[in-house]
Amino acid sequence: MSIKKVLKILGYIFVPLLPMVIAIYFLFPYINEEKHQEVAEKHSEEFVIGDSTNVMTSNFRPAAEESETVGDLGKDYATMKENIEDLKMEIDSLTVVNDSLSQQLDQRESIAEEVEAADAEISEEEFSENIKSLLDLDIESLSPILNKMSDEQLVKIFKAGSGLQRKKLLQSLESDRAAKLMTEVL
């Protein structure tokens, strides 16, 4: 037997069966009215066509009971509306507070930046004055002080000093330390 003949036989069997199943599905309420009523009553309590939420158990009203009246629902609606208004006012007040705190923070940051800039200017001036007073010492008193300083401090002093002050700095350092300082500067 060929595959075509098998498919024809199966087609003769199943093709008429499909319309019959569809017809029985739609004619069931008329064929067996009692059974249809039982099924309809059983499922009507569980699901209503077009209703996706049960009003009594919705998220908006978790404490609702079936015995509430329309008046109770109206009172609950008014209460919720008042709560919403209160929350809106609270949000507005918190927004105002947030804005004022943001402005204060911006002001403090700008003041801090100004103070830091002023401190940097003052510290540079003070630093240059301190270097002048340090390098005004004679070589014999300057030598022990410079030998106790770190290499980074010596580089800063060397860069900030004038030509004569640099010469005096190098003269007061030991030869190894002076060579190290020059390699770091160059």
Q: What is the pLDDT of residue 74?
A: 77
Q: What is the pLDDT of residue 59?
A: 45
Q: What is the pLDDT of residue 77?
A: 85
Q: What is the pLDDT of residue 58?
A: 44
Q: What is the pLDDT of residue 98?
A: 94
Q: What is the pLDDT of residue 83?
A: 92
Q: What is the pLDDT of residue 66?
A: 52
Q: What is the pLDDT of residue 125?
A: 73
Q: What is the pLDDT of residue 84?
A: 93
Q: Is 15 exposed, middle or buried (0-12, 13-18, 19+ CB in 10 A)?
A: exposed
Q: What is the pLDDT of residue 101?
A: 93
Rounded to the nearest 5 degrees, what angle is found at the Cα of 127, between the Cα atoms of 124 and 130? 155
Question: Which residues, in sequence order, are CB contacts of 143 under 8 Å at separation 6+?
Answer: 172, 173
Question: Which residues, in sequence order, are CB contacts of 166 under 8 Å at separation 6+?
Answer: 158
Length of the chain counted residue by residue: 186
Q: What is the pLDDT of residue 55?
A: 46
Q: Rounded to whole angstroms, how far apart are CA atoms 114 and 120?
A: 10
* Whole-prediction pTM: 0.35
**Tens place of pLDDT for every residue, the chain, 186 residues?**
789 999 999 888 888 988 888 988 888 888 888 887 888 888 776 655 455 554 444 444 545 455 567 667 778 888 899 999 999 999 999 999 999 999 999 999 998 888 887 766 667 777 778 778 787 788 888 888 888 888 888 888 888 877 888 888 888 888 888 888 888 887
